[in-house]
């Protein structure tokens, strides 16, 4: 099936999209097998979440579209802004400082090589 792109999304993953985007840059354009090997050894917390999303995208491609898992390539990997939880921390003189607990939406799109 030429031109079929299969995607998987993880929503509201804890961690900023800026940091998750650095992990996405590493796996973009790699084969699925190579991307999984890279993600297993990256120290970033976002790499663990991307590992699951890449595995899910590969499983979706194999199960739903009968694509060969050995021929799959990560076409797109993005980290978009999710919801931000706003918390406050007490500061001097009765003031407060904001704490922004950011989250990301991780998207991986795979397609067959060729």
Cβ burial of 26 (10 Å; 0-12, 13-18, 19+) is middle
Of 33, 41, 29, 27, the C-alpha closest to 58 is 33
Report pLDDT digits (tens) over 32-68.
Answer: 999 999 999 999 999 999 999 999 999 999 999 999 9
Assigned superfamily of 5-112: Ribosomal protein L22/L17 (3.90.470.10)
Distance CA 18, CA 27 (A): 15
Cβ burial of 96 (10 Å; 0-12, 13-18, 19+) is exposed
Report pLDDT digits (tens) over 61-114.
Answer: 999 999 999 999 999 999 999 999 999 999 999 999 999 999 999 999 999 987
């Amino acid at each position: 099936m030429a031109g079929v792109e299969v995607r998987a999304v993880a929503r509201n993953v804890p961690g900023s999209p800026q940091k998750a985007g650095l992990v996405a840059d590493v796996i973009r354009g790699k084969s699925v097998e190579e991307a999984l090997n890279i993600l297993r050894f990256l120290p970033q917390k976002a790499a663990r979440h991307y590992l699951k999303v890449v595995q899910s995208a590969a499983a979706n491609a194999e199960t739903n579209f009968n694509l060969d898992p050995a021929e799959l390539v990560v076409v797109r990997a993005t980290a978009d802004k999710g919801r931000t939880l706003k918390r406050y921390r007490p500061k001097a003189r009765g003031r407060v400082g904001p704490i922004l607990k950011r989250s990301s939406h991780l998207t991986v799109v795979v397609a067959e090589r060729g």
